[in-house]
Amino acid sequence: MYRRLEHALAAYDGPDKTCLSIAKSEDFAQIMGLNQVKFTSAIYPEVDMRALPYPDNHFDFTVADQVLEHVAGDPIAAFGETVRVTKPGGFIVQTTCFFNLIHQAPTDYWRFTPMALQLICEKTGVEPVLLGGWGNQLIWSYMSMGYRMAKVPENPDNPLFQLGMRNEKKYPLSTWVLARKPEA
């Protein structure tokens, strides 16, 4: 997932740009190429994603990495709030898990397919630029053995690297959407 989104926003980066980072998503925003922006951090759940305390059309980017599944309430409303605070022409990025053990219990509520993220975009009036999922049957087994957070070696000859690069659309581990808010 992170490789697919790597540098996806680099062409839009700049010191005059602003990014709302929900739940410490700055590292993820930097992977996407946002290295010069001014970050505003909103720590979820202290800052409710369903009622963000920022004005309309305020940020150039809104990024939430692995947060949407934890929203206690309507996830479409939460996504809509990220759209509301993003400027026309700006970008909204949401990543989420699809296959995962229940985590941070009792605050793990939702799972989203790429089709669900497409529907959320339609309901909130934004256009997906990148929409997808990553995973495979074998990675599910690997994770169930306790290797959920294991670092994958960067060696193409390593079997774990090969496993990490394999994608089967019917078995997503993670899903994501990078959407753009229409110009006014």
Does residue 122 have a pLDDT over 80? yes
DSSP state of 144: I
- Predicted local confidence at residue 150, as pLDDT: 66
Helices (H) and strands (E) in the chain, counts: 6, 6
State the chain's mean pLDDT as an integer. 91
- Total-model pTM: 0.90
Residues whose CB is less than 8 angstroms from the CB of residue 31 and which lie 6 or more positions away in sequence, other chains included:
2, 5, 6
Q: What is the mean pLDDT of residues 12-24?
A: 97
- pLDDT grade, residue 141 (50/70/90)? confident
Q: What is the mean pLDDT of residues 154-173?
A: 84
CA dist list (Å): 144 to 16, 106, 109, 118, 164: 44, 20, 20, 28, 15
- Predicted local confidence at residue 4, as pLDDT: 87
Does residue 144 have a pLDDT over 80? no
Tell me the per-residue pLDDT of 125-140, one tens digit each, with 9 for 90 and over. Answer: 999 999 999 888 887 7
